[in-house]
A = this chain, B = another copy of it.
């Protein structure tokens, strides 16, 4: 008589748990943005949750055929590299330039903690997000950029005022939102104009 037994592969689980312990650190990577009540700066882990939720809520604004569940997965992992590389403010062009190498090195280290093929698959999600070529990546990147605009709009300008960012600079960033979702791009532009009209963002 043969019997099928499910044997948990001890080594795989050990590697997965090491990865799980490692990524807890994302809760300590602090972004420039503030929570919508302005009480404190946001960390990468809660930001990742937030944009994952945005994907679920705003999925219908992606181009038809976009795999929203892949977008969610991409957004959950998109900032893991910042455990090593730290957060970069997108309006700091010099920092953005040197950041790419640091993030690739971080991806090499962090995803390799997982069992072979699982690490590869998760790394692919991050590579896809970075390359911004697929519909899924474009929509994910759009949401990642949409979130701080929404937050700044709700905190009387938030980081825009703090770091003297102008409406012209923000509008340049909005292009990437339009690229992932025309309707969200248009909405983001409205928020920018409204923030200017209210005096929370300079021209």
* Chain A residues near B (Cβ < 8 Å): 6, 8, 12-13, 16-17, 19-21, 23-28, 35-37, 39, 42-43, 45-46, 48-50, 52-54, 56-58, 60-61, 69, 72-73, 76-77, 114, 118, 122, 150-151, 154, 182-183, 186-187
Contact = CB atoms under 8 A, between A and B. Distances in A.
Given A27-B42, A37-B28, A76-B56, A8 B61 contact: yes
Copies of this chain present: 2
Nearest to A15: B57
A183 B8 CA distance: 6
Contacts of A56: 73, 76-77, 122
Given A24-B37, A43-B46, A45-B45, 6 more contacts: A8-B61, A8-B186, A24-B35, A28-B37, A56-B77, A72-B72
Determine the main DSSP class of A at the interface with B. Answer: helix
A183 B28 contact: no
Contacts of A39: 28
A182 B43 CA distance: 33
A93 B49 CA distance: 29
A40 to B, nearest CB: 9
24 contacts: A6-B183, A8-B186, A8-B187, A12-B60, A13-B183, A16-B57, A19-B57, A20-B57, A21-B36, A24-B35, A24-B36, A25-B36, A27-B50, A43-B46, A45-B49, A48-B49, A52-B76, A56-B77, A57-B114, A57-B118, A69-B69, A69-B72, A69-B73, A72-B72
